[in-house]
Structure formats: C-alpha cells, structure tokens
Structure 1
C-alpha cells in the first residue's frame, strides 16, 4: 500500500523522493524490494535512486546532508511499525521518537505512519500520532482491520487453540515428607503455586503436547498447500534447542534462528523460499518478517504482552492464494494470553466468532501414555539466557539445580488435555 501511494504521489507531481524507516533490516529489505518493483526505480540511496530505506537505529548516524534532503526536496517519509517510536511528548520520547521529532516532523512534505499494533506496552504516546482530549485515545486517519482484510482475502481467519489440562499434580518433596496438590487447570496452578509460566514452557510434556497439535494441523494443511510451514516462538536459545530436539524426535525437520546468530537473516531467506516444515525463532520473526507460507504457530515465548502476542499471530495471517484461508495459533491456557486471544476474536464480527470446546481424552499420536514428571528446584533457577553450546542427540537436562534445605516441586500432567478453540469462519 505504501509503495502504491508513493507511486500515485510521484505520478501526480506531489513528491520528489521517498524515505522509508523500519525497526529491522529484514523490513528495510522488504521496503527496497517492493518499492523498486512498484515504482520501477531503486530505493537504495545511490545516484539515480528514487529514495532510500534504513532502520530506526541508523537514523542517529545519518549525516546532515541526508536530513537536508527534507528541505531541498518534497519527501514522502514512510514509517513502518511506528509504535516503536515514542515521541508524542518531547519529555517522554525514546531515542527513535526524538529523531523523528527533531529531524522529520514538519519537514517532510508527507508522512505515512503504519502499524498493525498501534499502541505501546509502556503507554507512552507514539511519534506523529494524534490523541483525543481529554480521553487520550489514539486518532487514526485510516484503519484497515482484520475484519476488512479477511473479507478482502488478504488475511487468513485465525484459529486460536488454548491448551489446558484438567488434572495437574504438584508434588512438594521435603526432607522427611511430601505433599501432593491437584489443580483443575494450568491457570490455577500458576496462580496458586510457586510454579512459574516460564517453567511450564520448558516442561517436556507441555512442549510435546503443543508440538503434537501443531504437527497434526500442519499435516492437514500441507495436504492442501504442500509448502505450508510452522513457526515456534521460543523463550531463549537454550529453549529453542530443547524445542528443536523435540521436533526432531518426532521426525520433523526444522531450522533455528536467533538474534545471536549472524546468519539469521540468511537462514530466514532460505526458509522463506524453501519447503522446510518448521522454523524455531528467538527474537526473530515476531514482527515485520514476511514468510507467507507460515500457517501454524506454537507460542512458547515468555513474553506476555498483547503487542508481542498480536505481532506473532500476524506472522501466520498473510494469504498467498485461494487455498490457504486458515491460520492456527497454539498457546497455553494462561489467563493473560486467553484474554488476548478473546480480544482478537472481538475485533471480528460476532457472528463469525465461534467458541467451541473440544475435550481430548487420548494422548497425541505418538506420545507415551502416563505422566511426565519434571522437577523445579525453585532456589536455583537456570541461567535462562545462557546459550546452548552444542546440539547433541540426548535430551537437554532440565534440572533447575538442587538444595538440601529447599523444597523440590514436581509437576505432572494427566492425559486429560483440554483444547479451547476460538475459530473464525
């Protein structure tokens, strides 16, 4: 849309140049590719180009000659994912927002600020945005929501599956005794015990159950669209390797991309044009990255903000043809994430949002029956940021440490998994 708008303004003689800004290098490359195709001219900043594209991080390193273009030419400035730039109040701006206020605002002939999630988790105002008084509500000049995008066959209808368990057992092992507590749901376990959400994300039974659902759904989709793919959003590098090991144990091929890997963008580009089934990501592919063949996502990230959640959901929503109208997101039935899921459904017409409950009494195909147990030693947590040094054929050691004087908590799940489906048809 931004490229088509720029093309119209150029044809009407309203602008001379286009400058695009984005939060990541992969989005910048997307800008350059799309604008070059639509405009028939390069967007690389070299002689003869129609403009340039760069990241928000690069703005503060641009020479004054770059910014003087805004005074010497009529420039359309395009900002992708503008919510990254806090700049409504000069005193509450972040570094990127300050650059926009000082260097671009009131100097560009036209500005186009885009966001699929137009709010900030810190509640600060967004650069270039207008807010109502005194309510402080964002005033959008134009809104193209999920409802319109699905009706126009631009986006897939999301199916969000909330994974729960009706018989969670927590065993507290003391020096001379042990105590057992039962919980009817994952959310109650998290609210009424020392077990954390992130610890559950590392529980092998929970990982296997969610991956099993994702694999089964991907098999169905690939029967219709052979290159359909799945994404797993992991918590950290160590967790990503644990997930990859679990996928490989199920006979699934996968790639790992992390924000610590210098080759991450190359691997993403290979995956985008290939036919591999799964990609496991840490700090990548959550925003702006366009891999349209992604149709299934398993959300195993520790991040529980609505902005991040919707950005991840957006990775599986982009349609490529007439046979890929479904997008599937699998997530733990934790109250915050369940609320986010319901809000996504509320953005669509009520008669399209169907809430159904599907009770599964049998294990996922290929899984062993019985309970899986993992110990959580709450006194000595992992170094969750440590990088997994070597891929091995053995399952990773999930012990969180031990202490003679500290209780050990063991969590086990029965096979009474419950899947709550938010479906949009």
Structure 2
C-alpha cells in the first residue's frame, strides 16, 4: 500500500460519512447559506475561476477561518482535493483550527509531528506550524504530493519571517493542488517576499502584493461584523538616567526626538513606576463599566517581555484582588490557560505575544497596549484581539501611550495596506519585529533596545490625554481619577457607532465647561515646554474635530478662526495667536456651538 493509500482517505469513502450528506450535490453558490456577505462574495469569486493560488485579506474578527473551511468542505465534496493541510503560526492556533474544522465535518490532526512521517488514516489532513514545515520541508512536500491537497496558509506573512522559512514553504508546497493564503493585517515591514503571493507594480513602480479579495476594518464596522474601537491615550511626566549618569525628564508624547521618545516610552512601561499602575487602574475602571452591560467582558494587557508580564500580573492582583491569567510562550500549559480564560468570566489576561495573533477570545473588550512594539503588523494583530463582535453595540476600549508612533497607527486603523518589495522597512520597525520574535521564544525582548537606548527608569506618572475614535480626538489632558477622566471611562459598554461620536462630543463639551468655570487661580497655566509645533498640532486637532462635527472643510474652519481671532496663517502665527484660536474653539465646543 502506498503512503497515499495509508494516509489519505478518499473523500468518496471516509468524507461521505462525516461531511454533511448534502455537500457532494451542493453547487458553489449553495455555500452562501449562513455566511456573511463578504464570505459568500469571496467564495463566488474563487469558484468563478478556481485558481491554484488565492489570497484573502480580511480584518481580524471578520471570519477568515469560517471562509477557509467552507471553501475546504466544498473542494472536498467536489473531489477537487483529497486532503487539507493548515499551516498556522502557533501551536495554540493549530488546535483552534482543528476544533473549528471538526465542527464542519473536517478532521484535522493538530498533534501531528514530523517524526510520524504519514498522516493518520482517520483524518482528512493535519494542522502544522510554519516552524514544523521549515524544519523538514521535504517531508511536507511528500505529504502534499502523495494526495491532491489544499494547503491553507494562515497569516501567510509568516512565510517571510526569514529567507530560510520562505524557501522552506516554497519547497514544501510548490506541488500543492490548491493554495489558500489568509491574512488579517498589514503585511511585514521588511521586504522579504512572501511565498505564493503575487506582486504587481503600483503607480510609483513599487511592487506590492496583489490580494484576490479584501475586506477591511472600515467595511466590517459598517456591516456590524466588528466592534467600534475607542483608543484611550495616556501621557504623563517621566524621568530616567542615561548610562552617562545624566538625568532626563520628558512629558510622554510631547514631540521629542526619536531617542527621547523611545526612552520616555520605555520608562512609562516600567512596572516599578506610577504610569503603569495609573493606566491599569483606569483600564480596570473602564472594564467595570463595560461589565455592567456585558457581564463576561474581559481585559488583556499586552506586555513587551515576560518579566514585565509577570510584574503587570502582580499589579493587577493588588489592584483588583483577583489573580489574573498570565500567559507566557515558553509555558507548556499556556494554550490551555488561554482556553480556560476564554471560556470563563475572569477579569484580566496578561500576555507577551501568545494572544496577539489569531487567538479567538471574543469576550475581550478592554486592552492595555503596554509594549514597545510599533510595527503596523503587530499593532493591527494586537488590536484585532478586541474587535470581534458578538452582538451589535459592543465596543472595544484600548489604552495606549500617547506617543506619535502608536497614535499614528491608531489613526490609520481603517487603512488597508499591501506588502511592498521595493521599499526598505525602517530600522525601528525591524528592531521591534525582532523583539517580538524574541518574546515569543522566551528570550529577553528588551536586550536590543537596552543596548541602543541604555537607561534606568527613575519615575513616571500617568495623565489622561484624550480619546481617539475614527481619527478624531476628544478631550484634553486631565489628572488620573479626575471627573474629566471618569467622564470618558464611564461611557456605556453597549453603543452603536454613531452613538459613540455623540457621547464623546457631549463628554468633551462638559469637560470644556468645567475648565471654563474654574477660577483663574485654579486653572493650570500653559506648560513652558510647549512649542510652536505642539500648539499647531493641538490647533489642527481641534480644527479637525470641529470640521468633523459641523461637516465644514478644514480650510473653512481655519479661515473663520483668522477672521474672529485675527493673525496670519497657522504657519506664521505666534504662540499667543495660536492659543487665542485654541481657546475660541474650546469655548465654542463647550457651548455646543
């Protein structure tokens, strides 16, 4: 008996007993039942030509697994393939795929090891990791070529993690009958080509990935498939000592140089300071508010490394009196604890990378982005853990540091990206990717940054900065625990997207009224470190908010400010002239005008 005979049951014998009896007779369009509109449309596009390679990009939480498994059942039922192999980034995701496949009648073995050499006869196929394939690509090539195989490459950008990995994936699956590549985020920041992805020149001549079907966050939000995301940004004063013995002080996110911003950011994330306890306390208050209407809502803290994760877990324990679930990638029981948390109603989960990609915990509603990674890929994967909608009205609240790299990514949440081959990734992006890989393998994720930006954290204090929603900023800086902060933390946990804007606007107006009503002696003076650039940024943010609320063009709002307040264009205006316009806008919004 051949390897194929031993390891690949023919769909006409085994699968006919275990797949839905109606599958062999079902036509392609029959797959649309109980599917979301985008899934049905993607299936229709696939079956219009039945290509060998198909790349589907859908925002996290949109249902890529459901789409892929419906495609697999259809191809098995039509006898277009006899075997299914799923390649996933992690061991946990292998089991998650196998569980999902079982529910639709496909039996995948997630416990397959390279030493087995053949697929057990009782299964339609296997679920493996990219690392497994890279270890023995020739074995996986044999498994693929001994039966007509559909290979599902989950989060296919991992095929570009290293040149050797890309080569191994190509060697293993070059002979596959069908290949379905899936991704839920922007592709990698570097320029390593991803196997089985086509690249075409864009308008600038840069070769970018060609997606066969795309379903972005903006469309998914409009369809009610994902939750609205509110970003709660926190600033604050931080102080640290450099290796030369100099003491440095900065205000988080206040337009400093890249080096100073990096050191200030890492100082804020130090669990020994007061910034993280302040932010965790605010996030826990927000979680309590959400749980009034969503009783099982959970929170996730994403840490830079394992040492920080343990320390954040201890902080949450002291803060809440409840032991959080701490998940570390080198712990053999990590996958089980994630599932136990997903099935329970505990408040907090703390992790490094285990839940940053693909892991399905739908009850996560509040997040704390306590990591120094600033790559678009990692950020989008992390935020993707919170956006899966279970019912209309659920919102997600993500607490972030008010630093330019993260604020920029939050502003661009809806932007769809392609993978570019001809553009170099920045050194910071590549460094952050390396740090995250180290975190996943249990190594120190801070060594590289410490070598480049060596310092010792001395002091940090958190301050509520603003709420960012759909690219519009609401609120102004306030002390942690103040009424101004609590106004935003107390937003209801069930809101429609249009209600979010209206409530944020009303909270901001109330904050402005409180500031205006304070006696002059109690008003905080403008900080001395404020620069022209910072004033311009603040004014432009307020103009953007005013334009969003009134429907007027930005230029019209700026022209009205010059008419009322006087002075030249923004680029030539003094600090006093800019402050006059800022104060005018704040008074308008406080009055509801």
Give the TM-score of the pair, scaled to structure 2: 0.55
Distance between the aligned counterparts of 2:178 and 2:252, measured in 1? 56
Counterpart in the other structure of 1:363: none
Alignment of 1:121 onto 2:180: no
2:106 to 41, 44, 69: 41
Counterpart in the other structure of 1:210: 279
CA displacement 1:42-81 (0-9 Å, x = unmatched): 1124213211111111114558565334334221110001
Counterpart in the other structure of 1:242: 311
Counterpart in the other structure of 2:358: 288
Distance between the aligned counterparts of 2:96 and 2:240, measured in 1? 51
Counterpart in the other structure of 1:422: 469
2:444 to 385, 389, 399: 385
Distance between the aligned counterparts of 1:209 and 1:290, measured in 2? 28
Distance between the aligned counterparts of 1:131 and 1:197, measured in 2? 36
Distance between the aligned counterparts of 2:312 and 2:97, measured in 1? 32
Secondary structure of 1:57's aligned partner: helix
Shifted more, 134-143 versus 195-204: the winner is 195-204
Give the TM-score of the pair, scaled to structure 1: 0.76
CA displacement 1:155-203 (0-9 Å, x = unmatched): 21211122123xx365879xxxx98966485553875589442222115
Counterpart in the other structure of 1:86: 160
Distance between the aligned counterparts of 2:177 and 2:248, measured in 1? 67
Distance between the aligned counterparts of 1:94 and 1:120, measured in 2? 13
| Unmatched runs of 5 consecutive residues or more in structure 2 | 1-66, 110-118, 418-442, 472-496, 498-593
Alignment of 1:229 onto 2:229: no
Distance between the aligned counterparts of 2:139 and 2:252, measured in 1? 64
Secondary structure of 1:147's aligned partner: helix
1:13-162 mapped onto 2 (5 Å cutoff): 13-38=79-104, 40-44=105-109, 45-62=119-136, 66-86=140-160, 94-105=163-174, 107-133=175-201, 134-162=205-233
Closer, same or farther in 2 for the Cα pair 1:182/1:117, shift >3 Å? closer
8 Å Cα contact 1:74/1:109 also seen in 2: yes
8 Å Cα contact 1:187/1:333 also seen in 2: no
Distance between the aligned counterparts of 1:305 and 1:316, measured in 2? 18
Higher relative contact order (CA 8 A, sep 6+): 1
Alignment of 1:200 onto 2:261: no
More strand, by proportion: 1
Distance between the aligned counterparts of 1:284 and 1:186, measured in 2? 32
Counterpart in the other structure of 2:344: 274
Distance between the aligned counterparts of 1:170 and 1:211, measured in 2? 20
Closer, same or farther in 2 for the Cα pair 1:179/1:137, shift >3 Å? closer
Q: CA deviation at 1:408?
A: 8.1
Closer, same or farther in 2 for the Cα pair 1:186/1:238, shift >3 Å? farther
More helix, by proportion: 2
Distance between the aligned counterparts of 2:370 and 2:280, measured in 1? 10
CA displacement 1:328-385 (0-9 Å, x = unmatched): 111101111111111114569xxxxxxxxxxxxxxxxxxxxxxxxxxxxxxxxxxx93
Distance between the aligned counterparts of 1:409 and 1:274, measured in 2? 36
Secondary structure of 1:77's aligned partner: strand
8 Å Cα contact 2:400/2:406 also seen in 1: yes
Counterpart in the other structure of 1:397: none
Distance between the aligned counterparts of 2:398 and 2:250, measured in 1? 28
Q: CA deviation at 1:150?
A: 2.1
